[in-house]
Structure 1
Amino acid sequence: MGDITVSGPVTGINTESIVTALVNAEQAPKQSQINKQTQTSTAQLSSIGKIQAALDAFRGAMDNMAKDASIGGLTATASDANVSTVTLGAGASAGSYQLIVNQLATASKVATQTYAGGAKTVVNTGNTSTTLEISQSGQSYGVSVPPGATLQQVRDSINAQYSSVGLSANILTDATGSRLVMTSTNTGVGTDITIGGNSGLEVGTSVVSPPANAKYTIDGTPQESKSNTLSDAISGVSIKLTALSPLPAGVTGALPDGVTRVASTITVSRSNDTLKSSVKGFVDTYNALMTAIGNETKVTSNPDGSTTSSALTGDATMRTLQSALRAQMNALAGTGTLKSLAQFGVNTDSGTGKLSIDDKLFSAAIATNPTDIGGIFNGDNGLLARMKTATDSYALSNTGVLATRSTTLSNNLKDLQNQQDTLTARMAALKTSLTAKYTTMNNLVAQLTSQRSSVMTTLNALNKSNSDS
């Protein structure tokens, strides 16, 4: 009888490799599908994220340009930067204005009584919490003062809770002790701070300084403002008052009757250099968006003649986004002689969608029609507003096309991970089952081998006995 050569510990068969091969054969098709879909979804999610970032940057630049009249070729300066700073906005026009600042807007400032024990003085010596009430402009803000609270702790509590509404507190200390001083970022008449409650801090309070309006003149006309930032004093120009206008030479103290402080000049003027720089900034920002889209949709030619697609090659969403942008670039706008960027020498590459500037044509057009470019960009029907509108449906943070795509891809990746976990568990169970079956087989073979040995021993004994006879 020939030897049985079935393996394992007894049979000699490599059951572990057989189980592994069977499991791998079962796992391979589904694993390949999961790997491919995971790779695709991950690459697309990354690409969508890059384009979303580029689109957000582009739209942010559009917002800044819409607020900044420099895209219309204007620039603003203040002759005395110590007295005021100026910022251009939409609706500005060329002009010159004389500004005199006689008084800055100030905030209310209120102090508690002086505590001889300093900042560590316990202001609530009782067993229950009390309340400090701070009121301003019809609003009341409560500050809990727990038992054992110090003046310093009350200050910290005020700053932690109410800095967002403009309230702040500090402690001033001198030879007589410390006092809590409260003030606000809100300025102007009517913003007085008052102190109440039952904490004891309301007792003996004093007004350090009352709030006041800014007082100034523009071209000799007296005006007032609750704030030191004047957003409407000159159309399209924001003025921030930073100091009083200087006194005339030789004058100190109070101004004599009929004498005024020295005026500074705010000038809004047209600047072709500013206009060129602004248009170049628009071109660069637009091209950055086109580059981002191009990088994620391009097809790369390999040395062997094959091609490699990008994550979003042929993607319909990217095509419609590019089409929407190009449509606005080609549309006419403004009321001047020149109504498109192409007439200023700003051209579009038909392949990449990027913009380029013909410097010679651009300089000539600006020299003769500088105001026309402002009409192309600005206004409710200008290029900046149309670009924002054209990209709204793509860029909205939660419901936009790109956000929805990102959410879908993220959900796909979560589902693929669940599929992977299920497959891994199923393959582990299959391996356990197959291992158990081969172990049973080995045990059976071992039993058969043992029985064979016993039979062979008996037969050999019989054969020997017959031979001896």
Structure 2
Amino acid sequence: MASISSLGVGSGLDAESIVTKLMAVEKLPLTRLTTRTAGYNAKISAYGAISSALATLKTAANAFYSTKTNLLTSTVSDATVASATSGTSASSGTYALEISQLAKAHSLSSRVAGASETMGTGSLAISNGSNSFSVTIDSTNNTLAGIRDAINASSTNTSVRANILTDTSGARLVLTSKETGASNTISIAVTDNDGNNTDAYNVLSNTNPGLSQLSFTAGGNNLTQVQAAQNAQVKLDNVDLSFSSNTVVDAIPGVTLKLTKENVGTPATVTIARDSTGIKKVADDFVKAYNDLHSTIVKNTAANPSTTLSTSTDAASTASALTGDSTARSIDRQMREALRTVPSGVTGALTQLADAGISIDSSGVMSVDATKFQKAVDTNFSGLQSMMDGYGKAVNTLVTTLTDTNGVISARTTGLKDSIKLLDNQKEMLNNRLTSIEKRYRARFSSLDTMISGMQTTSTFLTQQIAKM
């Protein structure tokens, strides 16, 4: 008898449907494993959201306890003259700033020559400030271009930059100090090695220009000084001051000035003042980051009040990912405790966040009383700094503890991932078993199909024979 290619063809039974329904029952354990895996993945995702919210809070806490760099604004009445930046040690005040001279870098230029015109040979001993170095000039580099490259390539040259500038009259070698200030004058001494001392004073436009034309020392200035090395000359509140750089640090304590233009006779005003708007924004950002963390935890741990978690798998799936998870709720609790505990070193009238108008209500939501906060800024600025510094550090430390590789979030996430791996192994074993079960069902129904088909054939034959009789 020909083999049956599809279940039920020979017998007329809906064997395919029967096998499908039997396998649906057999697959119930696999469905439960898949549901558990999805639940674990949802928990990992929820912890990822909490971890992200903690990272944002840490950034806000860093600003909260680093606000000393943001509590003051520094302005210059004429922004073209200078700019000012205040640091942690700055204090409020105003200063008159007059710049009679900007600091400049020493610059020297050779006489005109061709960039590749041959010069004498020897060596150049160059000094600039605290840096001294020498370059050898021989037949391989005794041109303006060769000398430029030798100076720039010197491993001990940290202070002089060499360039070639060209116009209609020819090329010039230009040496410029990398640092401004009178102490950074470039000095060059020439040693002539070619035995022809007469080339020492030949002008570079001649056919045999001399290497000694590059001298710039007390005894022989054959290079042209383009710009003298000079200090910045400044008056601050009519006090004469001199600086080697146009970036002036701590002339006003805690303030960096960048000088950009001379303003003799028209002093500019430098104002260092409290930045009430900036510090309020720091507080607002901290409050928002805390509330975002709190809402993330609440969202992922809340239970659906209409769901009875103990009655069915379907009911459990409608709850939040971390419903009943003590670790997530512990994070929220620890954060509240950190913000309600006075950090060590914080003393005085402002010790609690609430003293400055920052409070947490009964539902765990933080807010800022703008009027009370501004009063703290106006009446106890140093105390507010100390308080913010203390709580910012406390939150930063707690977040670091929670999120580092040995923290509770990492441990919980690792545990969940391990559980998923175990479930995956179980699912793989169960899938292999289900394949065997389905194969066995199909074999049995195929045999039944063949047997019934044979019986039906016999029945038909007997019916026909009886009818003939």
TM-score scaled by structure 2? 0.61
* Aligned equivalent of 1:216: 234
Q: 1:323 aligned to 332, 337, 346, which one?
A: 337
SS at match of 1:298: helix
* Aligned equivalent of 1:297: 297
* Aligned equivalent of 2:53: 50
Deviations 1:78-131 (CA, angstroms, capped at 9, x unpaired)? 3332211222332333444333323334457799999989xxx9xxxxxxxxxx
* Aligned equivalent of 2:243: 225
Larger Rg: 2
For 1:3-82, list aligned pairs within 5 A.
Answer: 8-11=8-11, 12=13, 13-14=15-16, 16-18=19-21, 20-63=23-66, 65-70=67-72, 76-82=74-80
8 A Cα contact 1:41 1:412, kept in partner: no
* Aligned equivalent of 1:197: none
* Aligned equivalent of 2:366: 354
* Aligned equivalent of 1:441: 444
Query: What one-letter code is carried by the residue in structure 1 that aligns with 2:243?
Result: S
Query: What one-letter code is carried by the residue in structure 2 that aligns with 1:357?
Result: D
Cα distance in 2 for partners of 1:113, 1:85 equals 39
> How many angstroms does 1:54 deviate by?
2.9
State whether structure 2 residue 389 is matched by structure 1 residue 385.
Answer: yes
Change in Cα spacing, 1:181 to 1:66, as seen in structure 2 (3 Å) is farther
Query: Structure 1 stretches of 5 or more lacking a match?
Result: 1-5, 122-134, 141-150, 159-164, 195-202, 249-261
Change in Cα spacing, 1:339 to 1:29, as seen in structure 2 (3 Å) is closer
Deviations 1:291-341 (CA, angstroms, capped at 9, x unpaired)? 11331233779796999768588611221122212324899535xxx4457
8 A Cα contact 1:298 1:310, kept in partner: no
> How many angstroms does 1:390 deviate by?
0.6
> How many angstroms does 1:418 deviate by?
4.2
For 1:159-178, list aligned pairs within 5 A.
Answer: 174-175=167-168
Change in Cα spacing, 1:235 to 1:37, as seen in structure 2 (3 Å) is same
Which region of structure 1 is more displaced relative to structure 2, 298-307 or 428-437?
298-307
For 1:43-442, list aligned pairs within 5 A.
Answer: 43-63=46-66, 65-70=67-72, 76-106=74-104, 174-175=167-168, 187-188=180-181, 189-190=183-184, 213-246=231-264, 248=265, 262-268=266-272, 274-275=275-276, 277-278=277-278, 280-298=280-298, 311=322, 315-328=329-342, 333-334=347-348, 338-340=349-351, 346=357, 348-351=359-362, 352=364, 354-357=366-369, 359=371, 370=378, 372-378=379-385, 382-396=386-400, 400-404=401-405, 405=408, 407-408=410-411, 411=414, 414-415=417-418, 418-419=421-422, 421-422=424-425, 425-442=428-445
Identity %: 21
Cα distance in 2 for partners of 1:16, 1:174 equals 95
> How many angstroms does 1:458 deviate by?
8.0
8 A Cα contact 1:69 1:88, kept in partner: no
Query: What one-letter code is carried by the residue in structure 2 that aligns with 1:288?
Result: K
SS at match of 2:89: coil
Query: Structure 2 stretches of 5 or more lacking a match?
Result: 1-5, 117-127, 134-144, 153-157, 189-210, 215-222, 309-317
Deviations 1:134-183 (CA, angstroms, capped at 9, x unpaired)? x998699xxxxxxxxxx9xx99xx9xxxxxx9999999665578999898
> How many angstroms does 1:402 deviate by?
2.4
> How many angstroms does 1:48 deviate by?
2.3
SS at match of 1:315: helix
Cα distance in 1 for partners of 2:79, 2:409 equals 48
Cα distance in 2 for partners of 1:185, 1:365 equals 48
Change in Cα spacing, 1:100 to 1:447, as seen in structure 2 (3 Å) is same
Question: How many equivalent residue pairs?
Answer: 380
For 1:454-465, list aligned pairs within 5 A.
Answer: none
> How many angstroms does 1:242 deviate by?
1.6
* Aligned equivalent of 2:219: none
Cα distance in 2 for partners of 1:110, 1:423 equals 81
Cα distance in 2 for partners of 1:440, 1:136 equals 96
Cα distance in 2 for partners of 1:263, 1:432 equals 90
8 A Cα contact 1:228 1:241, kept in partner: yes
SS at match of 1:40: helix
Cα distance in 2 for partners of 1:136, 1:37 equals 67
Change in Cα spacing, 1:82 to 1:429, as seen in structure 2 (3 Å) is same
SS at match of 1:333: coil
* Aligned equivalent of 2:197: none
> How many angstroms does 1:376 deviate by?
0.8
Cα distance in 2 for partners of 1:428, 1:301 equals 33
Change in Cα spacing, 1:237 to 1:325, as seen in structure 2 (3 Å) is same
Query: What one-letter code is carried by the residue in structure 1 that aligns with 2:402?
Result: V
Cα distance in 1 for partners of 2:103, 2:52 equals 46
Change in Cα spacing, 1:35 to 1:451, as seen in structure 2 (3 Å) is same
8 A Cα contact 1:228 1:240, kept in partner: yes
> How many angstroms does 1:235 deviate by?
1.1
Cα distance in 2 for partners of 1:281, 1:290 equals 14
